[in-house]
Structure 1
Amino acid sequence: MPFTKLLSAALFAVALAAPPICAAQTTGTIAGTVLDKTTKKPVADIIIVLTGTSLESEEIAHSGNDGGYRFANLQPGLFTVSVVNDGYNPYERRDLAVNAGQTYRLRIELVPNPSADK
């Protein structure tokens, strides 16, 4: 009888743990850093625009003081990341394939455009 109770308790514990173990992640992430290509220093307050096949509308992220940005909870698909900012040449990266459970790391290096300041 003790063996039966022990076995029942063990099976119950496995059953409780099974949903988190079996739950597959269904979304992905695009994350990275925005840098000045010349100085290699992080660039803060940059607006990053994300468009893609699985998005109803574009998403916007802002780079932080460390240049970091993140687009989370993305349904799998193809994405385009773009930046248009005074003082830098436009940047665009197309056909970024994001899969479920994946974090796509994208380092954005912006090329300074001195003529844009005029």
Structure 2
Amino acid sequence: MKKTYNTSWNPFEIQYRVEDESSNQGLDFLFSHTHHSFTRSSQRGINSDKIIVALEFGEVFYSQGLQWCVLGEKNIPTYLKHKKNQLMNTVVIVSGDSNQVITCYRCTKPFKNIKTKSKILQKAS
């Protein structure tokens, strides 16, 4: 069984460690919020722990040069089933090269929405 826990005290950092209990070995992951994602996550009630669950257990899609981590109902681990309504359909968008969280949100049909997006990010004119 894996054990995951948040190791950062900085609100703009999302740092967590995943440990394998049988071997006591672990991996550290570090992501940082952009100002936009920090503001939006606060407004939408998505804290760092929910973002960590989405990053670790969510299904990853690559589109528009970004990573889209989608935490669907089937991706939620059994030990977090009691928080299913709070975690389900969470989407975390991460830049592909710098491990920055661009934004996060919840929507009713995230898989359908992401699959219908254009493959290339359009530039603003």
Give the TM-score normalised by structure 1.
Answer: 0.24
Which has the larger strand fraction?
1
Instruction: Indicate the structure (1 or 2) with the bigger Cα radius of gyration.
Output: 1
Give the TM-score normalised by structure 2.
Answer: 0.24
Relative contact order (C-alpha < 8 Å, sep 6+): which is higher? 1
